[in-house]
Structure 1
Amino acid sequence: MSENSDVVDYIKEVRLILADSIDTLLNLQYDLCYDKDDEIVPINNAVELVDMSYDLSHSEKLKKAETEFLRRDC
């Protein structure tokens, strides 16, 4: 039974970590949005979490490229 309880504890810990990650990504998404009228949609599964992390990464890369372009243009 000890092995089963270890697995259950591990799964609970992973779920807590994912929940914290979702909260963090939602906060980042809110901070990164230019238009505050956008509705924030709750994340319901890990696939959406991964998709959101890719979207945030892409958005940050675009912002950085834009900043560097403007700096070079001046």
Structure 2
Amino acid sequence: MENLSKLKQHQIKLQLRYKELIEQAYNLRQTDSAQSDISEYKAIKLLNKLNRLKYLNRETSKTTIPS
């Protein structure tokens, strides 16, 4: 159960970082397009990681709930 809590906390931390990167990419779009692209790329990689964690979280919750 503690692992699920840690997983959820890590997921929330990554979501906040994702939002920061997307906002940074948007704000830099007009002034520094190269830096904007870098931030967007990092955000996409982070989103991929978040999706994998979401899948993992879904799989672990299925196995811990007795049927």
Relative to the length of structure 2, the TM-score reads 0.50
Q: Which has the larger radius of gyration?
A: 1
More helix by share: 2
Relative to the length of structure 1, the TM-score reads 0.45
User: Larger relative CO (CA 8 A, sep 6+): 1 or 2?
Assistant: 2
